[in-house]
């Protein structure tokens, strides 16, 4: 807050300016909140792609393009793309390990013979 324009007990009318916000703090807060919004938009795109099993992430174009001047947008989109690729690789490894484990269990069951 930059200034309080009224004193305690002072009578005010509709439309009177009561206080003035510090524009630097307000602008800084806006930048932080916009960054958080863009991060969530990018994350939502990645999570939708993972849910739908698609390799391509579709980011929300109306919101992303309106903020295209933000230097962080590209970085956020790339970061989510990397997370998606890493998650897919991790999932494929886990499936491969489980398949090998299953094959080992079947092999051992055959060696043991009928119970």
Q: Measure Cα distances from 30 to 3, 33, 34, 58 in Å.
A: 20, 5, 6, 25
> What pLDDT is recorded for position 11?
92
pLDDT above 80 for 69: no
What average pLDDT score do residues 43-48 get?
Answer: 86
SS (H, E, C) 16-43: CCCEECCHHHHHHHHHHHHHHHHHHHHH
Distance, CA of 59 to CA of 64 (rounded, Å): 7
Q: Of residues 115 and 31, which shows the higher confidence score? A: 31
This prediction has a pTM of 0.50
**What pLDDT score does 47 carry?**
87
* CA gap 42, 78 in Å, rounded: 9
Mean pLDDT value across residues 3-27: 87
């Amino acid at each position: 807050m930059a200034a309080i324009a009224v004193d305690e007990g002072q009578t005010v009318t509709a439309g009177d300016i009561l206080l003035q916000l510090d524009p630097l703090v307000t602008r800084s807060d806006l930048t932080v909140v916009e960054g958080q919004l863009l991060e969530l938009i990018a994350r939502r795109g990645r999570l939708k792609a993972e849910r739908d099993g698609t390799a391509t992430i579709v980011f929300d174009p109306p919101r992303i393009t309106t903020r295209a001047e933000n230097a962080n947008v590209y970085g956020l989109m790339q970061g989510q793309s990397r997370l998606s690729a890493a998650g897919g690789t991790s999932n494929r490894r886990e499936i491969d390990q489980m398949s090998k484990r299953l094959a080992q269990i079947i092999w051992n069951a055959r060696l043991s013979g009928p119970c």
